[in-house]
Amino acid sequence: MKKVAALTREHWQGQGADGFHLYKGKMPIVATTLELLREHGPAGPAFWRFGREDRQNLFDAIGNPHRDAALARRAEDAWRRLAQEAAEREAQRSVCGNCGTKFTDDRWEASIAVDWGRGDSHPRLCDDCKTRAIEAERQAE
């Protein structure tokens, strides 16, 4: 098996990338013996993938568990980053100066929009309080 692995290296050897290997354009070559299959069964660590140190079950031998784990870590890190950014954004969200309710996204954007002479008449109030304030101003007139 070691001689076949050495002779076929160009067809299966991957390239290192961030703690795992990439196998683009390569094929996994897996070998075993009848003795190992009898000892461990087809679901046990009876398979040796060329280029790896230990025997593995067939699923791990043909897969790339180091890559899968690295990609899962990256996805988890990205999710944590997004959650942190969302929490920071939420902590900065404005609240109504009258009732204390947090602004909706639309109301928040409207309250901080640049005023070009026709801006928000009550930028510190939520929609409900703004409606009541406008109605009260109309009744007062």
For every residue of the chain, DSSP letters joined together read -HHHHHHTHHHH--EEETTEEE-TT----EE--HHHHHHH-TTSS-BEETT-SS-B-HHHHHS-HHHHHHHHHHHHHHHHHHHHHHHHHHHH--B-TTT-PBPPHHHHHHHHS--SSS--S-TTS-HHHHHHHHHHHHHH-
Dist CA 22 CA 26 (whole Å):
9
Mean predicted confidence (pLDDT) in 31-44: 94
Residue 95, pLDDT > 60, answer yes
The pLDDT-based confidence of 113 (bands split at 50, 70, 90) is low
Mean predicted confidence (pLDDT) in 10-20: 76
Please, are residues 20 and 67 in contact by the beta-carbon 8 Å criterion?
Answer: yes
Please, are residues 30 and 61 in contact by the beta-carbon 8 Å criterion?
Answer: yes
Mean predicted confidence (pLDDT) in 38-51: 92
Dist CA 27 CA 10 (whole Å):
10
Please, are residues 106 and 61 in contact by the beta-carbon 8 Å criterion?
Answer: no
